[in-house]
Amino acid sequence: MDERDAGAVARRALPLLDLTDLTETCTEPRIDALCRDAKAGGVAAICVWPHFVAQGARALKGSGIRVATVINFPAGGEDCARATDDTAEALRDGADEIDLVLPYRAFLRGDVAAARDMVEAVRDTSGSATLKVILETGAIADPESIRRASRLALEAGADFLKTSTGKSPVSATPEAAEAMLVEIRASGRPAGLKVSGGLRSVADAATYLALADRVMGAGWVGPGRFRLGASSLFGALMQARGL
């Protein structure tokens, strides 16, 4: 990819970025730095642990950059009451978007009801906030199972499907993202996709942008329908954009 092409990808990708810090060693000064980077890059959102939501919301007030947080993360457990309580607290702290891990182990053992019930409950709790459901596609793996999990999440009220927590051995893959996009297209709903986990280069961003264009059509990609969840990708995009 030459400099001109990389610059074009970067200009397109930065407004789609969920700039993320979900490391175990995250601190308040790092959240301050994350918010400064978010403003400098003009990204769509930051994605942080729940206990940093209030700090992020204060720092980004008036910027138009949204604050996302993670629920039932990363284990994808089955405690529905805990998930709804945590969601309600995050919303009170100022979260605009909820990234919920589907109880994917329940789904894999055939307990579809447990998985559906959590998504529906968090959907109800979330109100007008954006709900992204993380499928953990590296664990589900089989494309047909990914499509079934996608349908479940969409039918239960997800606004976005998200590939991965970024904490599993296998994160986002083009094959998983394509299966999810196909289900979004088939649903007829105005739902979106967040590709997350393992994105590090401008070429990675270009791969998923091209995939979304091919499956969903020109003009579909935008912050309200397509996100790239990453931390290390930010620097590569800023460099390619010449910032």
Q: What is the CA radius of gyration of the chain?
A: 17
Tokens representing residue 220 in the block = 């579909």
Cα–Cα dist 85/204, whole Å:
36
Q: Select which of 96, 132, 162, 204 is catalytic.
A: 162
Q: Select which of 37, 99, 159, 204 is catalytic.
A: 99
Going 137 to 194 to 106 to 76, the CA torsion angle's sign is positive
Known catalytic membership, residue 99: yes
Known catalytic membership, residue 32: no
Known catalytic membership, residue 194: yes
Nearest to 139 by CA among 113, 103, 111, 114: 103
Cα–Cα dist 60/116, whole Å:
33
Q: Which residues are catalytic?
A: 99, 162, 194
